[in-house]
Structure 1
Amino acid sequence: MTTIPTIRLSSPADLIAVVPYLLGFHPEASLVATVLDTENRTVGGTVRFDLPSDQADTPRLARHLTGILTRNMARQVMLIGYGTGAQVTPVIDAVTDALKAAGIEIVDALRAEEGRYWSYTCTEAGCCPPEGVPYEPTASAAVATAVFAGFVARPDRAALADTLAPVEGPDRDRVNAATRAACARVRTLTDADHDWYHEGADRIAAALERAQAEQELDADDVAWLGIRLTAIFVRDAAMTFIGRYDQETHVRLWGQIARRVPPEFAAAPLSLLAFTAFGYGDGSLARVAIERALSIDPGYRLAHLISMALDHGLPPSITSEVNCADMAGEIEAQARRYPQGARPTLPEGW
């Protein structure tokens, strides 16, 4: 579930207009459920599902959504189906029944298509005519609030995923060459030669400082950081910096590393990006990062754990229950006890 800054609504059109900014992309053939605080007229968390291609899957979607909203203690929600009536109506009907049975109030249920919306709860022709209500997204104050807060609505989900696509061209060649050279160097070193854990942690701290200053890393820095993150203890050390640097800095760094390292090295920075995004409530970014991480390494454990949290709709607040900074001492002690866990594990062929 994605959480967001305070955005106030004055009409259903406001919510429809702002949803793409909450998700990071314009949804198509989707069901979106947004938690509302109707007393303060504000938006809470948002969750999105693809509309089922097989209507036999609709009851399962309804149960899954209800479970997510229940775990997040939602009391009032608004539903928006994006698509044709034939696609949306059976889903809205099933979800409505499931949410009512769970005691969750549906403030409104809407269908949006081609610049118009229809309400499933309003039968007044004066405000909800049969031909639908036109809306203009750019005229919404809610959108202005989201844009001011730094939210971006990409054309579709694929465009969001493309923000994490591997970099090509001369930079790819430079980083690949630097990675080859660094891997060769790693193979010549013994654990006695290097304090792998502290050197890795120091490189992470230096990279975060550069990211905070909005500076790009050079090819050698990217290569060495990508290599060091293949060590579990070094990757875990990166998590201890959450809270010491803001979300934007972490997202900027791990996104840059994930795109620039050779794909075989990308699972760790993608998982760090997903963990950061999930903790700060950006479920859409976390999801696309995890999908790419698992496409690279289907068995990557941290990626699976984050994927499970997303699948079960666990609230981002669960990450605040783990003080990552306090874990530093424990991880360091583990690295001293088991030094091989801090040594890079080079992918096959490197």
Structure 2
Amino acid sequence: MIPYGRQDITLADVEAVVQVLRSDFLTQGPAVPEFERAVAKKVHARHAVAMSSATAALHTACLALDLGPGDWLWTSPITFVASSNCALYCGAWVDFVDIDPRTYNLCPKALERKLVEARRLGRLPKVVVPVHLCGQPCDLARIHELAQEYGFKIIEDASHAIGGRYRGQPIGSCRYSDITVFSFHPVKIITTAEGGMAMTNDDALAEKMALLRSHGITRNPTLMEREQEGAWYYEQIALGFNYRMTDLQAALGLSQLHRVDAYVARRHELAARYDRLFASFPLATPWQHPDGYSGRHLYVIRLRPSHSGKTSHRQVFDELRDAGIGVNLHYIPVYRQPYYEKLGFSAGMCPEAERYYEEAITLPLFPTMSEEQQDQVVSALKKVLGV
């Protein structure tokens, strides 16, 4: 089976982790801050706060922005559930903004229409989470303009997008947002096994997220409420969590970070080759906006509704799996999940997202993929579609 994504672990990665294993620190040592500094420098951000997962980073980002009961968070329906679950963790309400039919990202036009209505109803969002789906940057400049007009904060869910750029700036620079979140899951562009990171240019937000990731405990005298009782003294000054990244994970991530540009470049090469090979196929290949340079985390095709024959969306998916092609579907609209239906959501609320879900298939794409493997994917799809 050719997987849709796969990590690349080199001897240098293994040696970096082994070095930590032989050191005095396995959890909270020098590797975590070193990794944070390296990522911050790479993406031109002032602060980086490493965490145990991107979900943890999204949660603490929401808390740092004081999202809570009575507040609203809006995000895209075509994303992993963590992009909206982070609002529910805070006791806030969540809602969804339909996607752009070409980029599959949150649509700024749909966002503006929804904001106009929300202002009339007195239900404007406190936070909007645009998702850089497949690594392609959202229209951040326009979303930022709307944030200035309607008063919401922006958390970029850039789980797919490290190594990408928007209008010449690295994703993660937070030029158009308050916080940006990266994921380092194994199928992402670089990995720490599990892990995530929140980027920000705001000193107070960085300090609050760092506090929340470690139980809300501080040893910083300037933050304490009482006089120190001794060198052992610490205080819990907030209700935090155990969301810390380990030195083992950070060492792996730091080693991988050296190859992020090469990984993204290779993904672009493979995606361009797919585009050429699929030129005559009855499907839509991923459209790329000229304002951005995608991280190319995923390669999503869409079957053309006009294509006739036995090959329904489900049949194409199943027959590719049967042929040893590890296709996937990113994602089921979040509001169609049973948990969200119990909250009052129902199918059909975002028409473009529904159309996407009926047509989309994620094909294998990863840096170590060979052209022979890619030819196998193309050949299998050609056979399934009968072209």
Flag whether TM exceeds 0.5 (same fold). no
TM-score normalised per structure 1 = 0.27
| Structure (1/2) with the larger helix percentage | 1
Q: TM-score scaled to structure 2, two decimals?
A: 0.25
Higher relative contact order (CA 8 A, sep 6+): 2
